[in-house]
A and B are shown apart, each in its own frame.
Chain A
Amino acid sequence: MILIAVKIAILCMSIAILGLIYRLIKGPSMPDRIVALDAIGINLVAIVALVSIFLDTNAFLEVILLLGILSFIGTVAFSKYLEKGVALERDRDL
C-alpha cells in the first residue's frame, strides 16, 4: 500500500521537475532560471527521500541534508554574482 503511494508521489515529483526544467530552458531572465534550479534541488531532495523509502534503506539520509546545503550555497553564489558582478569580494569596505 505504502509502496503504491510512494510510486505515485515519485511520479508527481518527476512531473514537477519537468515543469521546472521547462522554466529553466524557457525562462526569459536569469533570476527565473536560478529560482528554477533552486526548486529542482529541493524536488531532488524529495525524490531522494521517497526513493530511500522505496528501497527501505537509510543510507541516503546524508544525501538529503547535503543536497539542501549545496543548493543553498549555489543559489546564494548565483544571486550574489547577479547582484554585484562578483561572487567573492576582496574587501567590502572599499
Chain B
Amino acid sequence: MKTNDLILQTTTKVVLFIIILFSFHIFFAGHYTPGGGFVGGLLTSGAIILLMLAFDMKTVSLILPVNYIYMAATGLLFAGGTAAGALLFNVPLLTHAFGHVDLPILGDTALHTATIFDLGVFLVVVGVTMTIIQTIGEDE
C-alpha cells in the first residue's frame, strides 16, 4: 500500500525554516545569551533529520549534496586555524582578537575571532551527527 504523507511533508516545508533560523539565532547569540555552536549544530542536524523523516534519504542528498565527513574536517580546520593563527602575531596559542568593524548595512559591529572557532564547532557537530544518522539509516 502506498501511503500519502501530504500533511507531514507540508508541515515540514514550513517548520524547517523556523528551526534553521532558530538554530542560526542560537549560534550567533551564543556570546551573550545561552547557546553557541554545539546547540546550534545539533538543532541544524535536527532540521535535516526532520527533512529525512518527511522525505527519503535520496531526496535529501539531492537537496543538500554535502559530504558530512568533509564538513567535520572543515570545522576542525577552522578551529585549528583560529588556534594557530594567533602564533602569527607573536601571542600564545588560542589567543583571540576582538575589534569593531564598520559593515555596510549592519553599521558598527563587534567582531570576535571566537566566532570562527564556534563556527568550527558548529560544522563538526553537524558533520558528526549527520554522519552517524546517515550511516545507521543506510544500513540494511
Q: Which A residues form the contact surface with B (CB < 8 A)? A: 59, 62, 65-66, 69-70, 72-73, 76-77, 80, 83-84, 87-92
Q: Is the interface of A mostly helix, strand, loop or mixed?
A: helix
Q: Which of B3, B53, B56 contacts A90 (CB 8 A)?
A: B56
In the complex, whether B133 has a CB less than 8 A from a CB of chain A is: yes
Interchain CB contact under 8 A, B52 and A88: yes
In the complex, whether B121 has a CB less than 8 A from a CB of chain A is: no
A88 to chain B, nearest CB (A): 4
Chain B residues within 8 Å of A90, by CB: 56-58, 137-138
Interchain CB contact under 8 A, A92 and B50: no
Whose C-beta in chain B lies nearest to the C-beta of A90? B57
Interchain CB contact under 8 A, A88 and B35: no
Interchain CB contact under 8 A, B137 and A88: yes
A71 to chain B, nearest CB (A): 11
- Per the 8 Å Cβ criterion, residues 64-121 of B in contact with A are none
A sample of 26 cross-chain residue pairs with beta-carbon separation below 8 angstroms, ordered by A number, consists of A59-B33, A62-B33, A62-B34, A62-B35, A62-B39, A65-B22, A66-B43, A69-B19, A69-B43, A73-B49, A73-B50, A76-B8, A76-B50, A76-B53, A76-B54, A84-B3, A87-B137, A88-B133, A88-B137, A89-B56, A89-B57, A90-B137, A90-B138, A91-B57, A92-B55, A92-B56
Chain B residues within 8 Å of A87, by CB: 53, 137
C-alpha spacing A92/B54, complex, angstroms: 10
Chain A residues within 8 Å of B138, by CB: 90
